[in-house]
Structure 1
Amino acid sequence: MKLYDSGVYLVNGTELVADDAQAAAAIKSRTGREVAKAEAAQGTIAYGILKDHNVSGNMDKLQVKFDKLTSHDITFVGIIQTARASGLEKFPIPYVLTNCHNSLCAVGGTINEDDHMFGLTCAKRYGGIYVPPHQAVIHQFAREMLAAGGKMILGSDSHTRYGALGTMAVGEGGPELVKQLLSKTYDIDMPGVVGVYLTGTPRKGVGPQDIALAIIGEVFDRGYVKNKVMEFVGPGVSNMSVDYRIGVDVMTTETTCLSSIWRTDDAVKEFYEIHGRAGDYKELNPAAVAYYDGMIEINLDEIKPMIAMPFHPSNTYTIEELNANLMDILDDCEKRAEVSFDGAVKLDLKSKVRNGRLYVDQGIIAGCAGGGFENICDAADILKGASIGPDEFTLSVYPASTPIYMELVKNGAVATLMETGAIVKTAFCGPCFGAGDTPANNAFSIRHSTRNFPNREGSKVQKGQVASVALMDARSIAATAANKGYLTAATDVDVDFSKPKYHFDSAIYANRVFDSKGVADPSVEIQFGPNIKDWPAMSALPENMVLKVVSEIHDPVTTTDELIPSGETSSFRSNPLGLAEFALSRKDPQYVGRAKEIQKAQKAVEEGTCPVEAVEELRPVMDAIRAAFPEKTFGEEMKPGTLGFGSTIFAVKPGDGSAREQAASCQKVLGGWANIANEYATKRYRSNLINWGMLPFVIPEGALPFQNLDYLFLPDIRKAVEEKQSEITAYVVKGSELKEFKLGLGAMTDDEREIILKGCLINYYRG
């Protein structure tokens, strides 16, 4: 695999020309004409699709309108509640509400079916599509029923990726879907486009997860594709089946790219024909000369079976390399756990080594990445006639949709798997985020799923339980299962893959999915459950602000799972205040109490009472501020909007992982006004902060002028936002002194600044 240090021209789809002094002459010799870089940059597939969906008239400053929207039951309640509060009357474009996360009846003391009935009645009232639990995971339904060549889909799940089918899809926080529901636009600068040039053919036994992990391992730490579009081109594309391409494509999210798109061919055309949607196919190829801001060159022949060890998809090794350096790599993982868990629990992976081989406790093939038809068929072929054994090791398989499940029943794959001792379950995303198949304490799980962040498998450090997940391809998981839990690469087993043809039966969805066909029925009453709550009132940005630093996180990357845990919290997703009680609970259990304490001062201001009496420790802080800024004339009781009080957190690089807005909204409802970071891991997390009225501050790496529990004073912060200042003057209150420092605010659109000034997106649309 090669990553180019400069831009690259792709000529005639088959030749790479580095952007150097000889590039112009090389291109002319091959095409017979001179091609300017600006022209070539318009030759990417991504540029053409973005141009077709941009309504700004300016390709540097995009205002995108999507063709379709999709959400699942962890996010759609909050999205629709926000849109309703902002004036929603009808879904203006197709909006699919799937139920694949809160599929269990009751978790955490609430009844998730209430959320489902909310979704069904909203689909009827506003003109949407409702997919009941166990029918399909969100992304498989979108592949089967929504994707179309040259179109764009916005989803409230980070793995919204349908590029292999010719659809540019973006995973974002809920507020961005609210904007589309209110007929507004998705506003971004024109993203960079990085080419992924594929040659060769995958080895027998190497699956899509292997290709994906190899890419993630190379690009993540370098930020090579961060917030860019990955465009897959080259002759190697056609040497992969469409199911295979889909398996690679869905994992591009773990590179932190913005979106993905692939060139299409007759295999993609056949995919649409199989699904009864031949008219949705569109041939997509880059122009004769296309310019890419970077290029990843991959020879598929060279990729070997991979494993992403705990606790990130980028912590990659070949299985061969792991087995050759087993104790050293396991020791490194244990040291990572010490840092991640702050020594609260001990992860012991080295005890998993038996007679020099790594023993695995659990295997799972599931969800939008692993639950595809070909993955499961190949796994069944490897396991045919084998037994997973009667010991600790277990194997669970979750087909990604009921149509896939039914075809696997018909072709015998389900029977083959069940004969081995494996369990085949319905479409469910639970294993991906800790709502199903939680391993035993200190157990080690291998999964063809999307993520292996700390505790994402459902373990609870705060209760002394820890487990860990490694990501692998379904084929090597099956090979490991055939060896009764001893880690084995699929290339090490002798198997003839049967490669049965897939037949899609649309009757399943026709019989069970509610589709309004875009017709709204305002007479339908929305069905609420007792756990579905409205968003609390949120104040506008004050003229001046006092912030208390209530958590300080120095991990290299902080995931959204650490900001708001997945799994056991999922049933509170429709209850903003109930969910907020879990914020940072796995990372900093004291966060919620500290945030609530300083929030008392803000509530006092809003009620017209004295904030210092509400929070006594503010007294010397306010004395110091008054002494330093006598012109501010802050009285004991102040006019609302003059001075605000709230909390902030510092994290080195927050926001990797899920798109769910709750990572930001939970901080907001607890009185958070800002995040301070060296950088933000993803655009979507920064956007979530802004849409919830929180300031996305940055400070240089290594420069931390404050400590946890310090108070910060931000004079004239509202004026600074109004005047589009990119650098904010702030002060650390140290005893009776104020020490000045600078906070960066970064680029924001006019609308984003107005959202922050109003206090959140809901207030912005209310006017």
Structure 2
Amino acid sequence: MIQLSKGGAYLINGNEVIEDGADIAAILKSKLGENVPSKKEAAKNTLAYEILEKHNTSGSMDKLKVKFDKLTSHDITFVGIIQTARASGLEKFPIPYVLTNCHNSLCAVGGTINEDDHMFGLTCAKKYGGIYVPPHQAVIHQFAREMLAGGGKMILGSDSHTRYGALGTMAMGEGGPELVKQLLDKTYDINMPGVVGVYMTGEPMKGVGPQDVALAIIGEVFGNGYVKNKVMEFVGPGISNLSADFRIGIDVMTTETTCLSSIWKTDDKIKEFYDIHGRSADFKELNPGNVTYYDGMIYVNLSEIKPMIAMPFHPSNTYTIEELNANLLDILDECEKKALVSLGGQVEYSLKDKVRNGKLYVEQGIIAGCAGGGFENICAAADILRNKSIGNDEFTLSVYPASTPIYMELARNGDLADLLGTGAIVKTAFCGPCFGAGDTPANNAFSIRHSTRNFPNREGSKLQNGQISSVALMDARSIAATAANKGFLTSATDIDVEYKNPKYFFDKSIYENRVFDSKGIPDPDVEIQFGPNIKDWPEMSALTDNLVLKVVAEIHDPVTTTDELIPSGETSSYRSNPLGLAEYTLSRKDPGYVGRAKEVHVAEKARIAGESPEEAFPEIKSIMDKIKASYPDINNTNIGIGSAIFAVKPGDGSAREQAASCQKVLGGWANIANDYATKRYRSNLINWGMLPFLVKAGELPFKKGDYLFVPGIKEAVKNKNDSIRAFVVGDTLKEFELKLGELTDDERKIILEGCLINFYRENN
């Protein structure tokens, strides 16, 4: 189904791939004559290069300084972003900024907290000149597709699934501080990313949907890092066989490959999408050059893709449904063993007890959000379920259209009635099932979902309370087939159905009647409405000359997700309260972390106040005595005291900045890792003034509870030192090496100032 090139590859005239090899020059010469461009020149013919060049302000295509066309955030990120920007000097939104309300839509959670956040967003949209989308109108990415995307444009969003490449828009999901930079008229600074082609051929078989294609790709490229921090560029003749909705459904899942962004060639089907949404002028035809060079090539034969399932607890844990059903007990046993790593043995976990009469039984189906809630997905599910019943046993089915216009059209064409008639529930636009705040199944239940992620706790369970359920990812079509089979796992290709493929009609009046659009005109006289849970960021200290760090958490999982660093779900109500939210940091991975970090932070607070850290936190006295014995110039004015965590590879998953900021407000100064799973998590650390240290894999000289001494760290950051001297403080000072990796000049300044807020406050 999926194959990967071993090296780079040329794409000739959009339909012929020639991989690097010893005879590449001769092959190209035979096809192109004497006019064969170099790899460097041919790489400029990618769609990614063209778009990035138009948005780059640095003058160098090696070191990019990007300005985006539009910004978008939802209600568990926009409060913190705007609060940070306000503290840094925000006067108005310089470009269109859309504030959607699709995550904290359940306003009964946390009392008035969520609706207070919504009113904060509305008044900020008025004051600073933004766009406000009320709860239940649309999930963030569907509104962006319908109303924001444009050919050749760039959008930055504070959600990791900010992906509109199928519409010709290069979009990126980052932590909130990167949006703050854009709001303050600054830039997004990155090295020119690699570009990997995704060459599509063939046509999907009946019953195969976009999630099947996406999962097949993720399963092949996540583990080996094939596209990590690169741009995925979709090309090839197979694209013409995919509808706009189908392409969108694949595209949104590219986030799970750990790529930086995505972009697709566009054609008349994408033009039709813009026409339907009344935005014909925003379409732009995009095609790679006649001779284009890619850093790698992913071959996708759409005709060979079969219905897929990503078993718990990662989108890359993929099998065909056919394979799973044929080897059921063996695969379930393998998944249970993997779960021991993900769950840390905190609860008993079993999947084999889901087998009934040789078939896998699931208790819940969900079709939702930016991945599953599209018009074509839901219509296909309705076709499969028409005149059937989901039964009256444990199995339930919930469907969440991604926007009210989609919901309206489902009502008009009759598919809504067909779904409701089966016993399914159709709800309003809401992202809750994707991050653990909606449709939580029973303990030990198994849920199949057309959504974006299936990390532990994404379904709402709490390990610390002994609760565990699990999620597998599937396409809406196979979820509907399973529902038609009363909860027994069934592939959509195993049923006989006629798909109606109804035409979509977009009703723009829904948004015209309800969405607030300032048209970019701010009203500075508007007073921002605050709620009691909306708190300012606490003061954060600049980096000191030297640091002493206590390692307060040690995580040896192969990958640590942002959900494990700061949980999603019910904690989302506290995203507007930095200190309140920080109480949940690592709560599902290391419940003792917060207490240990707070103990160390007491010493730093005393030091800043001019008091004795040793009296505030007696444990530190012997550590300081040992350090001063070798470094007598150390005193309470030139050494900071903080905490650090070690994780093998932290930061997979969400763009949420709070995965870093919660550590910071608890006194965290650093992460130490063998590698960082995503650029966005490393950027979040830096923007909150935390040091993204690296140590070599397999060479961990310290353990949880140890103190580390990093002398001269301030000068090392200033001087761009590649290697950082550090010591484990024991009976002696045992030296080891830390690295910081590449940092831009601004990133170094942010770390030196202590966080992005301090950096802008100082520079403004």
Q: TM-score, with normalisation over the residues of structure 1?
A: 0.99
Q: Is the 8 A contact 1:551 1:648 kept in 2?
A: yes
Q: Deviations over 1:559-603 (max 9, x none)?
A: 000000000101000000000000000000000000000001100
Question: Does 2:48 correspond to 1:46?
Answer: yes
Q: Deviations over 1:50-94 (max 9, x none)?
A: 000000000000000000000000000000000000000000000
- Out of 717, 740, 746, the position equivalent to 2:713 is 717
Segments of structure 2 that go 5 or more residues without pairing to the other structure are none
Residue in 2 that maps onto 1:739: 734
Alpha-carbon distance in 1 for matches of 2:666, 2:757: 17
CA contact 1:110–1:571 (8 Å) conserved in 2: no
Tell me the residue number matched to 1:21.
Answer: 22
Partner of 2:627, secondary structure, is helix
C-alpha distance in 1 between matches for 2:86 and 2:600? 30
Cα distance in 1 for residues equivalent to 2:20 and 2:148: 38
| Residue of structure 1 equivalent to 2:195 | 193
The amino acid that maps onto 1:188 is: I
Encode CA deviations 1:239-277: one digit per residue, 9 max, x unaligned: 000000000000000000000000000000010000000
Q: Give 1:25's aligned amino acid.
A: A
Deviation string 1:189-211 (CA, Å, 9 cap, x unpaired) is 00000000000000000000000
Residue 622 of structure 2: SS of its match in structure 1?
helix
1:110 Cα offset (Å): 4.8
Instruction: Summarize the alignment of residues 339-738 of structure 1 with structure 2, pairs less than 5 Å apart.
Output: 339-630=341-632, 632-634=633-635, 638-639=636-637, 642-734=638-730, 736-738=731-733
CA contact (8 A) 1:125 1:523 kept: yes
Counterpart in 2 of 1:89? 91
Q: 2:761 aligns with which of 736, 741, 766?
A: 766
Q: Structure 2 matches for 1:141-290, cutoff 5 A?
A: 141-290=143-292
Identity value in percent: 77
Letter in structure 2 aligned against 1:691: N
Matched, 1:10 2:11: yes
Are 2:313 and 1:318 equivalent residues in the alignment? no
Matches of 2:47 and 2:391 in 1, distance apart?
49
Native 8 Å contact 1:458 1:567 kept in 2: yes
Q: Which residue of 2 aligns with 1:30?
A: 31
User: Deviations for 1:150-201, whole angstroms, at most 9, x for unmatched residues?
Assistant: 0000000000000000000000000000000000000000000000000000
- Contact 1:27–1:34 (8 Å) recurs in 2: yes
Q: Tell me, in whole angstroms, the C-alpha distance in 1 between the residues paired with 2:28 and 2:345.
A: 57
3-state secondary structure, aligned to 1:106: coil
Asked if the contact 1:64–1:187 (Cα under 8 Å) also holds between the matched residues in 2, the reply is: yes
User: By how many angstroms is 1:628 displaced?
Assistant: 1.7
TM-score, normalised to structure 2's length?
A: 0.99
CA distance in 2 between counterparts of 1:219 and 1:279 reads 36
| Distance in 2 of aligned mates of 1:606 and 1:633 | 15
Give the Å deviation of 1:629. 1.5
Secondary structure of the corresponding residue to residue 588 of structure 1: coil
Q: State the AA in 2 paired with 1:304.
A: K
Whether contact under 8 Å (1:123, 1:130) holds in the other structure is yes
Which range moves more in the overlay, 269-278 or 339-348? 339-348
Cα shift at 1:633: 4.2
8 Å Cα contact 1:27-1:35 kept in structure 2: no
For the Cα contact (< 8 Å) 1:164–1:242, is it kept in 2?
A: yes
- 3-state DSSP of counterpart to 1:107: coil
In the TM superposition, residue 521 of structure 1 has moved relative to its aligned partner by 0.4
| Alpha-carbon offset, residue 458 of structure 1 | 0.5
Partner secondary structure for residue 84 of structure 2: helix
Amino acid at match of 1:652: V
Q: Which amino acid aligns with 2:704?
A: N
Q: Describe the SS at the equivalent of 2:28.
A: helix
Q: What code does the residue aligned with 2:759 have?
A: Y
CA contact (8 A) 1:124 1:524 kept: yes
Give, as a single letter, the amino acid of the residue that structure 2 aligns with 1:20.
Answer: G
- Separation (CA, whole Å) in 1 of partners of 2:276 and 2:710: 59
- Return closer, same or farther for 1:711/1:633 CA change in 2, 3 Å cut-off: closer
User: Residues 11 and 27 of structure 1 are in contact (CA less than 8 Å); yes or no, is this contact kept in structure 2?
Assistant: no
Deviation at 1:749, TM superposition (A): 0.1
Partner letter of residue 31 of structure 1?
A: L
**Residues of 2 paired with 1:108 and 1:310: CA distance?**
29
For 2:606 and 2:371, locate their aligned partners in 1 and report how far apart those are by CA, in whole Å: 49
Task: Give the partner amino acid of 1:91.
Answer: F
Q: CA deviation at 1:342?
A: 2.0
What CA distance in whole angstroms lies between the structure 1 residues aligned with 2:510 and 2:229? Answer: 37
Question: Would you say the 8 A contact 1:359–1:485 is kept in 2?
Answer: yes
Give the letter for the 1:38 counterpart.
K
Q: Secondary structure at the match of 1:675?
A: strand
One-letter amino acid matched to 1:708: K
The alignment covers a number of residue pairs equal to: 760
Contact 1:272–1:280 (CA under 8 A) maintained in structure 2: yes
- 1:256 maps to a residue whose letter is T
| 1:645 alignment partner AA | I
Q: Tell me which amino acid in the other structure corresponds to 2:116.
A: D
Task: Give the gaps of 5 or more residues in structure 1.
Answer: none
Cα pair 1:546 1:711 within 8 Å, conserved: yes
Query: Structure 1 residue 762: deviation in Å?
Result: 0.1
2:137 maps to 1:130:
no
Using the TM superposition, give the Cα deviation of residue 337 of structure 1 relative to its aligned residue in structure 2, in angstroms. 2.0
Shift of 1:444: 0.1
| CA deviations over 1:458-490 (Å, ceiling 9, x no partner) | 000100100000000000000000000000000
- Cα distance in 1 between the residues matched to 2:389 and 2:192: 52
Corresponding residue of 1:757: 752
Cα RMSD (Å): 0.7
Distance in 2 of aligned mates of 1:8 and 1:276: 38
Q: How far, CA to CA, are the matches of 2:168 and 2:494 in structure 1?
A: 34
CA contact (8 A) 1:24 1:35 kept: no
Q: Is the 8 Å Cα contact of residues 164 and 261 (structure 1) preserved in structure 2?
A: yes
Contact 1:28 1:35 in 2 (8 A): no
Q: Deviations over 1:669-701 (max 9, x none)?
A: 000000000000000000000000000001111
Larger CA deviation: 325-334 vs 531-540: 325-334
Partner of 1:107: 109
1:21–1:184 CA distance, 2 compared to 1 (3 A): same
